[in-house]
Amino acid sequence: MKALPSLAKALAWLAAVYAAMFAFDSSGLANPYWLQVFELACITAISALGLNVIYGFTGLFSLGHAAFYGIGAYTAALTLKSLGVESQPAFLCALLAGAAAAALVALLVGVSTIRLTSDYLGIATLGFGIIMKVVFDNADSFIPRLGGARGMTGIAKMTTLPWAFVLLGGSLLVIRNLVHSSYGRALVSIREDEIAAGAMGIDTFRYKTAGFVIGCAFAGLAGGLYAHLYAFLHPSNFDFFKSVDVLVIVVLGGLGNMSGTLVASFGWVFLLETLRVVLPPEYVEFRWVLIPILLVVTMLARPRGLLGIGEFRFLRGGAGR
């Protein structure tokens, strides 16, 4: 068995990291505020990696990523509430339910809109994002527990550092292995030239839909973690601007570059929080001036993304090279 060592190695790493995180988390050494920021960065990275599959690898321009993040968040929160037990396995079920719900909705949206090309698909997903925002705002009229525009409260605070970190590691592993396989090459070939990909025998419609669904499933997973991090959900966390945030992270990190997405996610979340602390209270909103300036400068200096086309060692390469 040649495969077992690589899988076992990956699992051993994850287990070791989990243990380390668990020890760190319960030691009380870390500042709980920054710990929470770190968890948010992991969650943001999972969502951004999902969008990277959609936009970076498959080449589908999506402006509705936050809507799928929201679907995952609300579904996971409602699932755990309905289960009535706040155990770790129940939490895992809730997270998977969130990812599955996002994937299912993505399938429906994908099948109907994915024939559209680039900009038009962007507009269609933008429209879907706006629809979902309205749905979240009025969710209390069909399921009162979702809270609607007042926000959803009473969510258990289940997301911990190990959960966030291990799920990020798992997501990286799954996406890396997928990308460095024939299936990943099929997705990338569609991004590069859809007509040629079709002429080579690749079912472009099917694979574009698959890429979209997989990416949205990661958004849903991240959403579930997010819901149980702050124990409060509000529709404004899933509007158009949040979709743009994720898009900015993916573009900053470099399209189709997982390491870049990782660095950009952590950079983005920590920069926002650091500025919140550093800037005097009356200037905090100037963050939204500083960050776009930084964005422009970064894009001018590194148009292909923060890391160019390089990848971290553990994200590089596949078999048979």
Partner 1 sequence: MILEARGLTKNFGGIKALNGVDLYLRRGELAGLIGPNGSGKTTVFNVITGIYRPDRGTVNMDANRIAGLAPHRISRLGIARTFQNIRLFRNLSVMDNVRAAYHPSVPYGPVSAVCRTNRYLDGEKAIGENVTELLSFFSLQDRRLEHAKNLSYGDQRRLEIARALASGPKILLLDEPAAGMNHSEVEKLMGFILEARKRFSLTILLIEHQMRLVMGICERLVVMDFGEVIAEGTPAEIRKDPRVIEAYLGHRPAGDTSEVRD
Q: Which one of residues 84, 119, 142, 195 is an interface residue with partner 1 (CB under 8 A)?
A: 195
- Binds partner 1 (CB under 8 A): choice among 143, 199, 284, 297: 199
Whose tokens are 């991090």? That residue is 229
Write down the least CB distance from residue 297 to partner 1, Å: 25
Q: Looking at residue 233, what DSSP letter applies? A: B
Tell me the closest approach of the beta carbon of residue 263 to partner 1, in angstroms.
21
Give which of 269, 225, 309 is closest to 41, Cα–Cα: 269
Neighbours of 115 (CB within 10 A): 14
Rounded-to-integer distance, Cα 212 and Cα 214, Å: 6
- Output the smallest distance, CB 311 to partner 1, in A: 14
Q: In this chain, which of 6, 26, 82, 153 binds partner 1, going by CB under 8 A?
A: 6
Residue 156 and residue 80: Cα distance in Å, rounded? 8
Total residues at the site for partner 1 (CB under 8 A)?
33
189 lies in the binding site for partner 1 (CB under 8 A): yes
140-179 in b/e burial notation, b at 16+ Cβ within 10 A?
beeeeebbbeeebeebbebbbbbbbbbbbbebbbebbbbb
| 100 sits near partner 1 (criterion: CB under 8 A) | no
**Interacting positions 149-188 with partner 1 (CB under 8 A):** 174, 177-178, 181-186, 188
Residue count (the chain): 321
Binding mask 42-81 for partner 1 (x = CB under 8 A): ----------------------------------------
Residue 317 has a CB neighbour count (10 Å cut-off) of: 11
**Least distance from C-beta 264 to partner 1, angstroms?**
20
Residues 216-255: x where in contact with partner 1 by CB under 8 A, - otherwise, as a string? ----------------------------------------
Per the listing, tokens 């990661």 go with 218
- CB of 5: closest distance to partner 1 in angstroms? 10
Radius of gyration of the CA atoms of the chain, in A: 19
Q: Does 103 bind partner 1 (CB under 8 A)?
A: no
- The residue (of 39 and 311) whose beta carbon lies closer to partner 1 is 311
Q: How far, in Å, CA of 168 to CA of 17, rounded?
A: 11
Main-chain phi, psi angles of 250, to 5 degrees: -65, -40
Q: Which residues bind partner 1 (CB under 8 A)?
A: 1-3, 6-7, 174, 177-178, 181-186, 188-189, 192-193, 195-205, 318-321
